[in-house]
Amino acid sequence: MLTSNHTVPIYLYDAPDEIHTKALPHTPPGLQRSQDDTYPPHHSPLQLYPTPRCHAHPHAHTHPHRSSDRSFLVHKPEDSPIPVSKPIESVLNLYEPNPAPQTWNEKKPMHLYDINFAFPFHFLQTEQVRLEPLVPSKHLQGFLSLPDESWAALGNLGPYDRESALRDIEEFRSDPSSLLMAVIDLQAERVGKDSFAGVYGLIRVTEEYMDAIFGVINVHPRYRRTHINTHGMFLTLSYLFDELKLVRVQYDANVSNEASIRAAERFEFRAEGICRNYNGLPKLRVAAHDAAGEKREDEVVSRQLLNDNGQKDTGGHQAGPAAMAQGHDTWLSSVTDYEWVNGGKKRLQKLMERPVVDIGKND
């Protein structure tokens, strides 16, 4: 019998009519155990349910399985107003003294890869280009093939090695308002060649404000000035406006990135203004090899940064603290749903009539 300083009935459920003697495995905190505490040997340890108030049960002296001096009752399951709690026979504990290395879903196949996006998504495709979720097991090599200098105007993104690429891809995936997409050249895919053409990234896709922002667009240099970016932009805007019914899509660019600004204007984005010192541009890190042939990373400043004396430094070497992250002005633009349905979509479709460039001819 379990007793305390107060008479607190404890109901024992899941008990058979006949009680078999077996010692309880432990005593709950604050209670004492007498020698005749029992539970059925062929049952799991009984669940203990303390009553909310310290009053004896009205039938405490009449229950057939307990004498009148006991403060515990045995109820059959059918008599109990409380559902029987099934015991848990095992638990999962994956603790290791040294944590296993983070894999960032590197080996997970596409059909098992969770894109973790807050909106419905499916592959987006024209006759020449397909946009699909960027999955490391399929696209990592293509992602790493984007030249280091192609990341120069993209804020704190890139350049990448294998580990940093996996980390940033997983960071993108873990945010349900973001979606990272691989741009696939179907012309190359049909003939069995490398078809990775670049990466598109959407951020802050929200139902509350019904808008989205292009967080990254990086098309491989061999595909620039071809049909690839035009098809990719048409697919993305069609998805955001026609399927998700958003009202605004934003496009940002470094003010010095004239090619990106021209492309945005060609894709119907309208300038809204300049955000001064909006993002920092860290130093560009490029891979190199030392005299012994070992790979190393040299730090170079490929952008115009200010040195400690406030002068522009373009010498390709570290220019003091300013070289770590130099703020830059950002050109801000957008296209709205009204503009999209009132001519914007048709004009972009017209641009898609440009001749398709066969990149394979140059291989």
CATH code (residue 226):
3.40.630.30
- Amino acid 226: pLDDT: 92
Q: Is residue 67 within 8 Å of residue 40, measured between CB atoms?
A: no
Residues 130 and 241 in one domain: yes
Rounded Cα distance between 82 and 38, Å, is 21
Of 87, 121, 144, which one is at a domain's C-terminal end?
87
Taking the complete model, does pTM exceed 0.85, yes or no? Answer: no
Tens of pLDDT, residue by residue, the chain (363 residues):
444 444 444 444 444 444 444 444 454 554 444 444 444 444 444 444 444 444 444 444 444 444 444 444 444 455 555 555 555 566 766 566 765 556 778 899 999 999 999 999 999 999 999 999 999 999 999 999 999 999 988 877 889 999 999 999 999 999 999 999 999 999 999 999 999 999 999 999 999 999 999 999 999 999 988 999 999 999 999 999 999 999 999 999 989 889 999 999 999 999 999 999 876 544 433 333 334 444 434 333 333 333 444 444 444 334 344 444 556 789 999 999 999 999 999 999 999 988 887 776 555
Q: Is residue 14 part of a domain?
A: yes
- Amino acid 208: pLDDT: 94
Residues 208 and 333 in one domain: yes
- Amino acid 170: pLDDT: 93
Q: Is residue 172 part of a domain?
A: yes
Domain extent, residue 261, equals 110-283+324-362
Going by C-alpha positions, the residue among 8, 55, 52 that lies closest to residue 28 is: 8
Q: Is residue 124 part of a domain?
A: yes
Q: Is residue 95 part of a domain?
A: no
- Amino acid 153: pLDDT: 80
Going by C-alpha positions, the residue among 110, 162, 158 that lies closest to residue 138 is: 110
Residues 51 and 193 in one domain: no
- Amino acid 200: pLDDT: 97
Residues 49 and 144 in one domain: no
Q: Is residue 263 part of a domain?
A: yes
Residues 154 and 78 in one domain: no
Residues 76 and 125 in one domain: no
Q: Is residue 295 part of a domain?
A: no
Residues 130 and 204 in one domain: yes
What total number of domains does the chain contain? Answer: 2
Residues 346 and 202 in one domain: yes
Rounded Cα distance between 272 and 276, Å, is 13
Residues 137 and 261 in one domain: yes
